[in-house]
Amino acid sequence: MTGSARQTIALVFAVVMAVMLLVLPPKAWGQPPGQIVEGPGGARYVADELIVTYAPEAARERVNAVGSKFGARTKEAVPGIDARLLSFPNGRGSLKRIKHTLKGNRAVESVDLNYFLEPTFTPNDPRFGDQYGLPQTRFPGAWDKTRGNANVDIAIVDTGIDANHPDLAAKVSAQRDFTATPEGKVAEDDAGHGTHVAGIAAAVTNNGKGVAGACPGCELMAAKVVSGGLASSYDTADAIVWAADNGAEVINVSLGAPSGSDALKNAVDYAWNHGAVVVAAVGNSGKEVREYPAAYANAIAVAATAKDGYLASYSNYGTWVDVAAPGSGIISTKLGGGYTTMSGTSMSVPHVAGLAGLLAAQDRSASGIRSRIENTATDLGTVGKDKYYGYGRINAYRAVGG
């Protein structure tokens, strides 16, 4: 390994390298994609190389002969730790078989694949350090695998979105005001709730401003259904169908009521049948009571956890809860510019919606997205699914295959 390559690895945790990841194409890493192999656990390694260390007592002639019958050549060496990088360009047997054979050589102390180390992406948004919810649910590790992309839309069915906010302006791909008659083409926020939710889900990230979004690469669709602090079931159902018809992969509904309607249920089912995942809030009364649309079978019902990682006192609960996510003291985008902190299951939902966006960017189906979110969650409370956390607090790193 060259000195330059060693310096690159030494800098993998530096923010400057994390920034470079956004603009450099894969081949800038110096290894042609065709020579990269992904192992069963997702770890990637060089297809025809092994790192070999040698027994201290081994004679030099025996050391030099290691791998010769497989046509190995020494590419580089680190004398201080008696390690060599062996290349097997002639394809004499599988790397797995060669590795097994070399391990049986008495001159050899260890044999390892030449795994790739990948930078851990840390955005340069100045308020990222205040966003405890993203590290707690392991989003930074997930971002090394995927940060979403502009082909994935997260619809925010809420009070609208402040499309002039510097952390959101570049993200709003479509909007509709369902509270206007006739329906308006601009879903301008007049309350701030939707703007806050949108920033948690997909704020512009690594732009040196404000906060990071759970799905940095995802686009946003704004569906305004709240007027005067209330949203009708009809408008909400209409907005869900509009979002599904216009290509939203994820629909965030940080709204709810203790009673539902056939129209609202049918809209959730419609979205599901059209490949969209509906993520909804379980409510903030701190009781074992159902909230709709979250309680519908084809919605993902999200409870809230506090900063200590356990269920927030205000979060509703019940056997219908599917997963939990941080909801207390969440900092995000503020109506009119700037940033503010809010609490509630409304803030938990966009964490899950952002994770759904990351999974959609991996070309997973709606059912695949849901199963990954639920099956990889960090189990809390009693073992298995329970009425407080559902399957547990989301774990973005596990979900995307980290």
Domain ranges of the chain: 3-22+35-115, 128-399
User: What pLDDT is recorded for position 37?
Assistant: 76
Write the pLDDT tens digit of every residue in 356-400.
999 999 999 999 999 999 999 999 999 999 999 999 999 999 999
User: What pLDDT is recorded for position 1?
Assistant: 41
User: What pLDDT is recorded for position 218?
Assistant: 98
Reported confidence tier of residue 7, pLDDT bands at 50, 70, 90: very low
- Candidates 193, 233, 235, 238; catalytic one: 193
Tell me how far apart the alpha carbons of residues 12 and 205 are, in angstroms, rounded to a whole number: 19
Per-residue b/e over 350-386, b at no fewer than 16 CB within 10 Å? bbbbbbbbbbbbbebebeebbebbbebbbebbeeebb
User: What pLDDT is recorded for position 122?
Assistant: 86
Tell me how far apart the alpha carbons of residues 225 and 296 are, in angstroms, rounded to a whole number: 19
Write the pLDDT tens digit of every residue in 84-104.
899 887 655 688 888 889 988
CA distances from 7 to 14, 27, 331, 363, 384 (A): 12, 18, 36, 35, 45
Q: Judge whether 227 counts as a catalytic residue.
A: no
- Candidates 125, 158, 162, 177; catalytic one: 158
Residue 322 CB burial class (10 angstroms; 0-12, 13-18, ≥19): buried
- Tokens read off for 352: 């899950």
Write the pLDDT tens digit of every residue in 175-215.
999 999 999 999 999 999 999 999 999 999 999 999 999 99
Q: For domain 3-22+35-115, which architecture applies?
A: 2-Layer Sandwich (3.30)
Per-residue b/e over 166-205, b at no fewer than 16 CB within 10 Å? ebbeebbbbbbbbbeeeeeeebbbbbbbbbbbbbbbbbbb
Q: Which range (119-128, 212-221, 228-237, 303-312) has the least confidence? A: 119-128
| Whether pLDDT at 2 is above 60 | no
User: What pLDDT is recorded for position 25?
Assistant: 32
Mean pLDDT of 113-137: 87
Residue 58 CB burial class (10 angstroms; 0-12, 13-18, ≥19): middle
Write the pLDDT tens digit of every residue in 152-175.
999 999 999 999 999 999 999 999
What lies within 8 Å, CB to CB, of 135 at 6+ separation is: none
Write the pLDDT tens digit of every residue in 45-82.
888 889 999 988 888 888 888 888 888 888 898 888 88
Position with higher pLDDT, 225 vs 68? 225
User: What pLDDT is recorded for position 93?
Assistant: 60
User: What pLDDT is recorded for position 39?
Assistant: 67
| Whether pLDDT at 282 is above 50 | yes
- Tokens read off for 126: 């100045």
Write the pLDDT tens digit of every residue in 321-361.
999 999 999 999 999 999 999 999 999 999 999 999 999 99
Q: Judge whether 351 counts as a catalytic residue.
A: no
What lies within 8 Å, CB to CB, of 291 at 6+ separation is: 256, 257, 258, 280, 281, 282, 283, 301, 316
Tell me how far apart the alpha carbons of residues 36 and 45 are, in angstroms, rounded to a whole number: 6
Look at the alpha carbons of 218, 220, 221, 223 in this order and tell me if their dihedral is positive or negative: positive
CA proximity to 12, closest of 116, 112, 127, 115: 116
Chain mean pLDDT for the chain: 88
User: What pLDDT is recorded for position 290?
Assistant: 96
Q: Mind spelling out the 3-state secondary structure of the chain?
A: CCHHHHHHHHCCCCHHHHHHHCCCCHHHHCCCHHHEEECCCCCEEEEEEEEEEECCCCCHHHHHHCCHHHCCEEEEEEHHHCEEEEECCCCCCCHHHHHHHHHCCCCEEEEEEEECCCCCCCCCCCCHHHCCHHHHCCHHHHHCCCCCCCCCEEEEEECCCCCCCCCCCCCEEEEEECCCCCCECCCCCCCCHHHHHHHHHHCCCCCCCCCCCCCCCCEEEEEECEECCEECHHHHHHHHHHHHHCCCCEEEECCCECCCCHHHHHHHHHHHHCCCEEEEECCCCCCCCCCECCCCCCEEEEEEECCCCCECCCCCCCCCCCEEEECCCEEEECCCCCEEEECCHHHHHHHHHHHHHHHHCCCCCHHHHHHHHHHCCECCCCCCCECCCECCECCHHHHCCC
Superfamily designation of domain 128-399: Peptidase S8/S53 domain (3.40.50.200)
Query: For a pLDDT cut of 70, what percent of the chain falls above it?
Result: 88
Reported confidence tier of residue 402, pLDDT bands at 50, 70, 90: low
Place of tokens 């704004």: 222
User: What pLDDT is recorded for position 207?
Assistant: 94
- Candidates 233, 315, 328, 346; catalytic one: 346
